[in-house]
Amino acid sequence: MIIFCEDCGEKNQVTAGQLKTGRAIFTCRVCGYANCFAFDSGPTARQTDQDLKQILDKQIKKSQTLLGCFICDRRYEILINRMPASLPQKDVLILGRCVCQGHQHAAVAIDDLSETWIQISDKAILVFKNSHNLFLVLVGQGPVFGENLISDETRYAFQCFTPQS
Amino acid sequence: MSENKQLSDIGAIKGIKQFIVVDNAGQVIKSRMEHTEKMAEMVFECGKLFFSIGKKNFTHAVFKRTCGNDFLIFPVGNQYIGMIKQKNIKTFTLIDSVKNFLADLT
């Protein structure tokens, strides 16, 4: 799986063995920094809806910049919505369709696309897709860069997430 | 158009490897990019989608790539610029450079 260096933010491919102890232990391939950090709740190989909702809620609560997030499927239907209650569901749906379709269009032309950042005024939107064709969309406030919106724990949990139904 | 002539100088910005300019009908205005047709379509479709959410508040989009040559899109008037970043430059540094360049155009 891909883990980001704590020091320089570069992506590093790590093996399951490097995560077994509940900590990510690896030397960054770019800057050489010796990373050793814990995943708070030790995500398991398969995340359920409930597990992921808890992790997302924790991240939103802890983050200074994250307004909310949601997950949609390949038809752009919302599976998990953790956006502020003041935002109507139909607006979340429209946002999801636009940003996920954009990510999909880009993926056709860019074969090594990993994530999409979109800056709209002072809002940063980050889009990921996992191997189950699900999209995680995070919306941050302030002129932040996408990579600061999501923790390694949330990234990992989403990669492992498959819907229950 | 003088704006296009100036916009075409964007390739001189440090950190830009390739670039393409398309209009809001998907026509290529200028290209210094490989696979022009495919990339023009992507820039146009993505630019249009993101513009539909933010309108004039849409400032840029970054497509992160594992190889480090991130792809960026900026709206400029009724056109979109797509560019491939060189590996050796930070994405936010290039974003700032492009924003400064575009601010000088207007």
Mean pLDDT of A21-28: 74
The interface predicted TM-score (ipTM) is: 0.91
Band (pLDDT 50/70/90 cuts) for residue A44 is very low
Q: Is A11 on the interface with B (CB under 8 A)?
A: yes
Instruction: Give the closest-approach CA distance of B49 to chain A in angstroms.
Output: 5
Task: Tokens 């102890």: give the residue.
Answer: A21
Probe site for chain B from A4, A117, A141, A149 (most B CB atoms < 10 A): A117
Tokens of A17: 């063995």
Band (pLDDT 50/70/90 cuts) for residue A47 is low
* B61 contacts A119? CB cut-off 8 A: yes
* Helix, strand counts (H, E) of chain A: 3, 9
pTM: 0.79
What's the pLDDT tens digit per position in B1-58? 445 558 888 999 999 999 999 999 999 999 999 999 999 999 999 999 999 998 889 9
Mean pLDDT of A20-36: 77
Contacts of A95 in chain B (CB under 8 A): 53
Out of A33-47, A48-62, A105-119, B31-45, which region has the weakest mean confidence (pLDDT)? A33-47
What's the pLDDT tens digit per position in B70-84? 999 999 999 999 999
Report pLDDT for A39: 56
Name residues 58-87 of chain B within 8 A of A (Cβ): 58-67, 71
Report pLDDT for A156: 82
DSSP track, A21-37: TSEEEEE-TTT--EEEE
Nearest beta carbon to residue A113 from set B50, B57, B63: B63
Mean pLDDT of A89-114: 94
Report pLDDT for B3: 52
The answer on pLDDT for A41 being more than 50 is no
Instruction: Give the closest-approach CA distance of B42 to chain A in angstroms.
Output: 6
Average pLDDT, chain A: 83
Which residues in A86-122 belong to E strands, given as ranges? 113-120
* B64 contacts A110? CB cut-off 8 A: no
Mean pLDDT of A113-123: 92
More confident residue, B52 or A155: B52
Smallest CA-to-CA distance from A39 within A63, A62, A50, A55 is with: A55
The answer on pLDDT for B69 being more than 50 is yes
For A12, nearest residue in chain B (alpha carbons): B66
Q: Is B13 on the interface with A (CB under 8 A)?
A: no
Q: Is B32 on the interface with A (CB under 8 A)?
A: no
The contacts of residue A67 (CB under 8 Å, 6+ apart) are A60, A83, A84, A123, A139, A140, A141
